[in-house]
């Protein structure tokens, strides 16, 4: 039995299938942990959702910002963007089943000694707290007030966590941290302006994984979302302050990468396939 964490697919079905072939994946034996952004920007979002949903428990998937965007478009809360490639899902005969499957995915996992998120973790949050807060969002996504939640989900305020937060403000901070976070202050104030590499931190901010004394420092964290950390055909993700970035820019012509988790916490082996560029160069999101 092998366990794999895989970074952002973003609708790149052909590289995903090549990666599964390369690792000799068997759904009866192995488990995939997909770190969010299953869809969008790439050419085959519909095929990705169909493939993952058919794998059952062998594919444990997180929700990323692009997945939440798709749910918002489905519910009429957002309009499709110019770079979106999700219309095929919305028009498909099995659209309802696929989107219902998607809204039942998770926001965070703590499995096999690893914390797994799409984007990041605020400095105050422990691994257990991260999963618990993620479950608050999951309950709303799976409930009858989905559309109301999605209407209130977007926005940059509050920009920091407080245990006293309630309602839409509380859920919005959780979503922003788990699906959008790149930079924050040591106190956990989130920056929403920069999407570039770690050297582009705004004044007073750090990459979230570089914040000293963050509560998850002793837990290995696998995440995606930030393709400029480890993208390009010759780039290799490396463990940095006990975190492993696994968005290696597949949709931008980089690689699609799986980390096979070892028996010891924080132990892994990387397997990658090169990808054809599916999206014109631009700012990742």
pLDDT tens, residue by residue, 184-194 = 999 999 999 98
Report d(CA 191, CA 160) in Å as an integer: 10
Look up residue 153 and give its two tokens. 């989900």
Report d(CA 29, CA 57) in Å as an integer: 11
- Overall residue count recorded for the chain in this entry: 285
- Give CA separation, 100 vs 9, 23, 74, 124, 144, in Å: 19, 29, 10, 32, 12
pLDDT tens, residue by residue, 269-284 = 999 999 987 776 655 6
- pLDDT score recorded for residue 120: 98
pLDDT tens, residue by residue, 75-91 = 999 999 999 999 999 99
Please report how many Cα atoms fall inside a 13 Å half-sphere around the Cα of residue 261, on the Cβ side.
25
- pLDDT score recorded for residue 80: 93
- pLDDT score recorded for residue 231: 53
For residue 32, give the nearest of 65, 67, 56 by alpha carbon.
56
Q: What is the mean pLDDT of residues 159-183?
A: 98
Q: In what order do the strands lie in the sheet with 59-61?
A: 59-61, 31-34, 3-6, 255-261, 268-274
> Does residue 203 carry a pLDDT above 60?
yes
Tell me the torsion sign for CA atoms 203, 282, 252, 37: positive
Question: What value, to the nearest 5°, has the Cα angle with vertex 231 and ends 183 and 111?
Answer: 70
């Amino acid at each position: 039995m092998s366990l794999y964490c895989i970074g952002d697919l973003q609708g790149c079905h052909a590289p995903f299938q090549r990666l599964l072939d390369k690792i000799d994946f068997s759904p009866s034996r192995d488990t995939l942990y997909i770190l969010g952004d299953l869809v969008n920007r790439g050419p085959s979002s519909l095929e990705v959702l169909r493939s993952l949903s058919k794998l059952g428990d062998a594919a444990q998937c997180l929700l990323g910002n692009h997945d939440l965007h798709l749910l918002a478009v489905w519910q009429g809360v957002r309009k499709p963007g110019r770079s979106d490639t999700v219309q095929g899902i919305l028009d498909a005969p099995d659209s309802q089943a696929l989107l219902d499957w998607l809204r039942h995915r998770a926001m965070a996992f703590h499995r096999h000694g690893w914390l797994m998120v799409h984007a990041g973790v605020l400095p105050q949050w422990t691994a257990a707290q991260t999963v618990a807060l993620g479950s608050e969002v999951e309950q709303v996504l799976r409930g009858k007030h989905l559309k109301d939640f999605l209407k209130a989900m977007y926005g940059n305020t509050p920009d920091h966590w407080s245990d006293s937060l309630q309602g839409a403000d509380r859920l919005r901070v959780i979503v922003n941290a788990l699906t959008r976070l790149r930079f924050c202050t040591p106190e956990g104030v989130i920056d929403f302006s920069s999407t570039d590499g770690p050297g582009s931190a705004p004044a007073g901010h750090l990459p979230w994984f570089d914040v000293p004394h963050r509560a998850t420092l002793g837990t290995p964290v696998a995440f995606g979302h930030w393709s400029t950390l480890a993208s390009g055909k010759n780039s290799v993700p490396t463990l940095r302050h006990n975190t492993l970035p696994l968005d290696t820019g597949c949709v931008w012509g980089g690689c699609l990468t799986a980390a096979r988790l070892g028996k010891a916490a924080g132990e892994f082996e990387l397997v990658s396939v090169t990808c054809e560029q599916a999206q014109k160069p631009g700012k990742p999101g």
